[in-house]
């Protein structure tokens, strides 16, 4: 379950922090309110291609970070062990996109060549 989302220097967003409560979350709003921007940032975090054109300020890095609550399932724990990632109740995913278009991924603050 998505617990929080932090976005900086992405599209029209300079800095944004959102905390999500437990349960069903529905994002609504009028056309142009920014719903697609939030989904685009989340998609970037989950592996979509990084394009330097999405940077609000072309001199700064774009950073998208999300904290997810994870299941204490044995299969999830095994996946973490296989990827040598510390297993806990939460996982933090972060993606940094540079003005040159390069990107780096982090899982629980550990550099990771791919997103899970």
Q: What is the mean predicted confidence (pLDDT) over 108-114?
A: 81
Question: What do you get for the CA distance between the two ends of the chain, in Å?
Answer: 15
- Answer whether residue 87 shows pLDDT above 90: no
> How do residues 21-75 score in pLDDT, each as one tens digit?
988 888 898 998 889 999 999 999 988 988 888 899 999 999 999 999 987 888 8
Which tokens in the block code for residue 9?
């220097």
- Answer whether residue 115 shows pLDDT above 60: no
CA distances from 1 to 25, 31, 40, 53, 66 (A): 10, 26, 18, 29, 10
Q: Compute the distance between CA of residue 78 and CA of residue 85 in angstroms, rounded to an integer.
A: 10
pLDDT value for 114: 61
Q: Which sequence spans correspond to the domains of the chain?
A: 2-112
pTM as predicted: 0.86
Q: What is the CATH number of domain 2-112?
A: 3.40.50.300
Q: Compute the distance between CA of residue 81 and CA of residue 85 in angstroms, rounded to an integer.
A: 6
């Amino acid at each position: 379950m998505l617990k929080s989302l932090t976005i900086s220097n992405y599209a029209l967003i300079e800095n944004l922090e959102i905390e999500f409560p437990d349960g069903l979350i529905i994002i609504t709003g009028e056309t142009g309110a920014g719903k697609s921007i939030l989904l685009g940032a989340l998609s970037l975090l989950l592996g979509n291609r990084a394009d330097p054109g999405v940077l609000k300020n072309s001199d700064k890095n774009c950073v998208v970070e999300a904290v997810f609550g994870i299941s204490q399932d044995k299969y999830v724990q095994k996946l973490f062990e296989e990827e040598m990632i510390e297993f806990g109740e939460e996982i933090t995913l972060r993606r940094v996109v540079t003005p040159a278009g390069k990107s780096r991924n982090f899982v629980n603050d550990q550099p990771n060549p791919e997103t899970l």
